[in-house]
């Protein structure tokens, strides 16, 4: 009995091919989950293989040509999927969108950008330390001149002093800040060795 049943299963596999419709067709909502591809009619399949098709009912019967068309379609889709994996950009470049979501891709070199950002951070630290060494008047005048963009004359008018006094004060502050920068650079160089 077991041998006969095993032979019938082998014969069923030769004459019929099973397709899972929900797997093959994403979004498929029909009642039939399976398709059987065979030259046999539906009645012949039900009569000849009642035990084998129990797990596949209800099913849709497809001809050999229809089954081959599905196979050709799947092979073609797989070929194009593999081709796109091999030949397209890993990020799936789309003009305008990729730059928005992957900023690291639009910089010339990621590590150069990181180095530039680190240098900028160190420069800001040095600037902060240099500003701490200035007098309150020098801090105010440097900020007004370089950050707010005010001229020496305008700052002088606001403080009721001549613009030459403001120029000398700003010049002295810049000189003091340069010394601080050079001390910081020398300190960084001596400690990096």
**Residue 36 DSSP SS3:** strand
Task: Give all domains of the chain, ordered by start, each with its CATH number.
Answer: 2-87 (no CATH), 107-192 (1.10.10.10)
Task: Say what the pTM is.
Answer: 0.41
Sheet holding 34-38, edge to edge: 16-20, 34-38, 59-62
Going by C-alpha positions, the residue among 79, 81, 108 that lies closest to residue 92 is 81
pLDDT single digits (tens) 93-116: 667 676 676 666 666 677 888 888
Residues ≥6 apart with Cβ < 8 Å to 176: 130, 133, 134, 138
**Mean pLDDT score, 169-180:** 90
pLDDT tens digits along 138-166: 999 999 999 999 999 999 999 999 999 99
Contact 180, 127 (CB under 8 A): no
């Amino acid at each position: 009995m077991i041998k006969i049943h095993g032979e019938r299963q082998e014969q069923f596999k030769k004459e019929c091919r099973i397709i899972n419709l929900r797997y093959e067709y994403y979004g498929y909502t029909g009642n039939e989950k399976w398709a059987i591809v065979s030259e046999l009619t539906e009645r012949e399949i039900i009569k000849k293989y009642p035990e084998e098709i129990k797990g596949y009912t209800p099913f849709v019967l497809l001809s050999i040509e229809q089954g081959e068309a599905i196979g050709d379609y799947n092979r073609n889709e797989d070929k194009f999927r593999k081709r796109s994996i091999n030949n397209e950009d890993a990020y799936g470049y789309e003009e305008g969108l990729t730059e928005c979501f992957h900023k690291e891709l639009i910089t010339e070199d990621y590590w150069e950008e990181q180095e530039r950002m680190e240098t900028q951070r160190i420069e800001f630290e040095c600037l902060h330390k240099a500003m701490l060494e200035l007098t309150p008047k020098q801090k105010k005048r440097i900020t007004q001149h370089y950050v707010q963009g005010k001229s020496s004359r305008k700052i002088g008018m606001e403080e009721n002093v001549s613009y030459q006094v403001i120029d000398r004060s700003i010049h002295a502050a810049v000189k003091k800040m340069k010394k601080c920068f050079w001390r910081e650079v020398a300190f960084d160089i001596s400690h990096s060795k």
